[in-house]
Amino acid sequence: MLCLGIESSCDETALALVRDGALLSSVLASQVDVHALFGGVVPELASREHYRCMGPLFDTLMARAGCAVTDLDVVAVSRGPGLLGSLLVGVAFAKGLALATGARLVGVNHLHAHLLAAGLEQPLSFPALGLLVSGGHTHLYRMEGPDSFQTLGRTLDDAAGEAFDKAGKLMGLAYPAGRLMDELARDGDPAAVPFPLPYLRNDSLDFSFSGLKTAAAAYLDGIPPAERWPRPVTTAQGAPRILRDCCASYTRAIVETLLRKVERALERQPDLSTLILAGGVAANSHLRSGAEALMRRRGGRLLMPSPALCTDNAVMVAHAGWLLAREGAHHDLALQAVPRGRPIPADMLYARESPAP
């Protein structure tokens, strides 16, 4: 079964081909340079870039893989959550291909695809606890299978990735700030600044990082002028100790909060011994090492995609689409894009025939 994956939920235009669970080829056009001028993603520019790049990227992908459009069995597309204008470009392109070729159309939940991406490099095992940590979302799931996710906790305001990006902007770090903050934190003292561990004094599995961002702003405002650093900061080389310590302390606060919530969830779900960690923030070296230590201590199993598959990509969409199509799942041409803030409807259709091989 040959599955095309299409990703256009935010600022990355990406396509990939997966055959029977194995990656054939992938292509991606990044918009980082476009949005860096504004310090964040501009939705209208993002959708225009998707429209400009989608067709040429598809032609490039098919040529690289040596495939014809008529070879496609499944067309999978990120239907949401994300930026509505960006999503519409991908969904419309997917519908056109499905209508023209007769391929099965599968609308993929972008968040679920992140977690299922771990299965590209190691066997997935269910049930599992899923921790999705990205720029727009921080979710805990009980995962029963590729099409069965139960939400256990979610962010009430800022997501962890958003907290990293906004604090990084306050520190003067070049956009996107997360990767540079990770690097700066490796050579800092995580105990130097007593940032609070947010929303832990309760029995909830939800998250809230807005207060931590406020604490970072207050700390930065209180730094004496003589100790402040030139901005923007584009590299870790030569960065002052006070900035490295600030990054290390801020990173510790987010990572420790995430892992404490994970441990709380595992204690409440004693039949779960596998943690799947995914999303853009899952590329953070401190979170990865902390999750490894946690699951090793508990005698459990940790699954996470390689860092290259943590950020938005079409490989995860193609893989998720293949998993769903293998179960007989599909959508018709009434498939709708779902923007951030609205729930993804349970409108998957299932073929009556046996699952495809």
- The pLDDT of 202-213, averaged and rounded, is 95
Q: What pLDDT does 354 receive?
A: 40
Q: What pLDDT does 256 receive?
A: 98
Task: Say if residues 129 and 143 touch (Cβ distance below 8 Å).
Answer: yes
Q: Which of 11-20, 36-45, 231-240, 320-329 has the lowest mean pLDDT?
A: 36-45
109 carries a ligand binding annotation:
no
Q: What pLDDT does 224 receive?
A: 96
Three-state SS string over 101-117 comes to: HCCEEEEEEHHHHHHHH
180 carries a ligand binding annotation:
no
Q: Which tens digits make up the pLDDT trace of 139-168?
A: 999 999 999 999 999 999 999 999 999 999
Kindly tell me the burial class for residue 32, based on how many C-beta atoms sit within 10 Å of its own C-beta (0-12, 13-18, 19 or more): exposed
Class of domain 2-117+310-350: alpha beta
- The CATH H-level (homologous superfamily) assignment of domain 127-304 is ATPase, nucleotide binding domain (3.30.420.40)
Q: Which tens digits make up the pLDDT trace of 255-299?
A: 999 999 999 999 999 999 999 999 999 999 999 999 999 999 999
Strand 74-80, strand 104-109: pairing:
parallel
Task: Say if residues 64 and 321 touch (Cβ distance below 8 Å).
Answer: no
- The pLDDT of 199-222, averaged and rounded, is 96
Read off the DSSP letter of residue 344.
P
Query: Is residue 40 predicted with pLDDT exceeding 80?
Result: no
Given the structure tokens 């892992």, which residue do they identify?
259
Read off the DSSP letter of residue 251.
H
The residue type at 160: A
202 carries a ligand binding annotation:
no
- Which residues 6+ apart lie within 8 Å of 131 measured at CB? 139, 140, 141, 258, 262, 275, 276, 277, 278, 279, 282, 291
- The pLDDT of 14-38, averaged and rounded, is 89
20 carries a ligand binding annotation:
no
Q: What pLDDT does 355 receive?
A: 43
Give the confidence band of 353 by pLDDT, cuts at 50, 70, 90. Answer: very low
Q: What pLDDT does 357 receive?
A: 43
Q: Taking every pair of C-alpha atoms in the chain, what is the biggest distance, in angstroms?
A: 72
Q: Which tens digits make up the pLDDT trace of 167-189?
A: 999 999 998 788 999 999 999 99
Query: Is residue 215 predicted with pLDDT exceeding 60?
Result: yes
284 carries a ligand binding annotation:
yes
71 carries a ligand binding annotation:
no
Percentage, residues of the chain above pLDDT 70: 98
Which spans in the chain are helix H?
32-36, 43-65, 84-101, 110-116, 160-171, 177-185, 210-221, 241-268, 285-298, 314-326
- The pLDDT of 103-130, averaged and rounded, is 96
Total residues found in the chain within this entry: 357
286 carries a ligand binding annotation:
no
Query: Is residue 351 predicted with pLDDT exceeding 80?
Result: no
28 carries a ligand binding annotation:
no
Residue 32 tokens, joined: 């980082």
Q: Which tens digits make up the pLDDT trace of 42-100?
A: 888 989 999 999 999 999 999 999 999 999 999 999 999 999 999 999 999 999 999 99
Closest CA to 133 of 243, 248, 21, 290: 290
- The pLDDT of 227-237, averaged and rounded, is 94
328 carries a ligand binding annotation:
no
Q: What pLDDT does 356 receive?
A: 45
Distance CA 227, CA 229 (A): 7
108 carries a ligand binding annotation:
no
Residue range(s) occupied by CATH 3.30.420.40 in the chain: 2-117+310-350, 127-304
- The pLDDT of 106-117, averaged and rounded, is 97
Give the confidence band of 41 by pLDDT, cuts at 50, 70, 90. Answer: confident
Percentage, residues of the chain above pLDDT 90: 89
Beta bridge partners of 302: 275
DSSP letter for each residue of 106-158? EEEEHHHHHHHGGGGTS---SSEEEEEE-SS-EEEEEEEETTEEEEEEEBSSS
9 carries a ligand binding annotation:
no
Residue-averaged pLDDT of the chain: 94
125 carries a ligand binding annotation:
no
Q: What pLDDT does 341 receive?
A: 86
Q: Which tens digits make up the pLDDT trace of 123-140?
A: 999 999 999 999 889 999
